[in-house]
A and B are shown apart, each in its own frame.
Chain A
């Protein structure tokens, strides 16, 4: 957890009475400011927002909207033990509201940029042309599968598999029962595994 420097200061020879200064600063800044609370969350929240929107600008807009929503809730933020799930929950509501405004289906995932995703996909496949083709094919199948997900399924998959949230936490974020989360996970995984077989992979190099 990031804190203001004033919590970790040691006196310096330059100002022998600075220790007193620090003490007062500590009491002065007893509660964390919005910047102290929110700044460490921005990059992790951006990553989550990107998973939902698959677009850097949309992801930034979503985090920005979240910041504007919570900037006047500093007291509440100071009192919250686990800040990130609380922020993710609010951001999810904003995301759903945005989707409803656009009335788009299958929502954000239709905007997926194949090339951008493919750049991040998998490690170097070596110089074996068959291996490159096989990996490329597999990647495109996965992207096609991802596009078929409902946004609730995609959000659930990312929160569970990538971000490591528990079923209970995801249920709270999405305001649904744990049973619904399990169902979304199951269906999401099933869609993602479609067309995944080993037939094209036999020529790949060993690791």
Chain B
């Protein structure tokens, strides 16, 4: 075996796999310091990749975003200002509410989930951004997303519009829809989110209730994680 063959054979094998070394290669390395150094670099690099190949724990994104939004909510309560979306919208419009995580099309996930016990509180007669996070295990190039709001809820600026449906591409991992929602009464109403991809469909329901005191708009975000 010569050096070119050694390199070619190593390149064909999986990075860092020690058993990819043939006897011929090993014998060649004994005679060739350059190839031995090359193999050492190959093994070290593969080892570093192997050490790094850890799966992120379940719910990582939701936990991290929830705590971050909780900090924002606490700051908002203290300062009576809503500043973390400053510049994007008028300050009076936005009060961050919660993060909803939908695990999409996972095998263990049921086709429909009613989350009557899951509530989010938004201030009455004030537009709030309701982020809905859809966690997709893979990229889905074409899905249909539908959002249905109960009579007490509406999308800002659209004269009582309560039913939206559109097509979108989902990325692998977190995808976020920010809905500018207006709550008309303290009782609030249901929000139904449906995601369709090919023959698969998932529907989620949760409750949005109105809150008179907007400064106390801190929700139990962990409980709202699906």
Contacts and interface: CB of A to CB of B under 8 A. Distances in A.
Q: Does A pair with B?
A: yes
A10 B44 CA distance: 49
B91 interface: no
A47 B167 contact: no
Nearest to A124: B19
Contacts of A64: 63-64, 67
A204 interface: yes
A46 B60 contact: yes
A35 B99 contact: yes
Contacts of B71: 68, 71
Interface string A136-180: 001100100010000000000110011000000000000000000
A162 B30 contact: no
A42 B174 contact: yes
Given A33-B88, A33-B176, 7 more contacts: A38-B64, A39-B61, A39-B133, A67-B65, A67-B68, A196-B44, A204-B22
A60 B48 contact: no
A14 B165 contact: yes
B57 A135 contact: no
27 contacts: A2-B174, A5-B177, A6-B178, A10-B166, A12-B144, A15-B161, A15-B163, A15-B165, A18-B164, A21-B164, A28-B89, A29-B89, A31-B88, A35-B69, A39-B61, A39-B176, A40-B174, A54-B51, A60-B57, A67-B68, A117-B51, A124-B19, A135-B19, A198-B26, A201-B26, A207-B12, A207-B22
A104 interface: no
Contact of B72 (A71, A197, A198): A71
Contacts of A33: 85, 88, 129, 131, 176, 178
Nearest to A46: B56
Given A71-B71, A120-B50, A123-B19, A202 B27 contact: yes
A63 B43 CA distance: 29
Interface of A: 2, 4-6, 8-12, 14-15, 17-18, 20-22, 24-25, 28-31, 33-36, 38-40, 42-43, 46-47, 50-51, 54, 56, 60, 63-64, 67-68, 71-72, 74-75, 117, 120-126, 131, 134-135, 138-139, 142, 146, 157-158, 161-162, 189, 192-193, 196-198, 201-207
Given A4-B176, A8-B168, A24-B157, A35 B65 contact: yes
Interface residues of B, number: 81
Interface in B40-54: 40-41, 43-54
A138 B18 CA distance: 9
B123 interface: no
A135 B17 CA distance: 9
Contacts of A203: 23
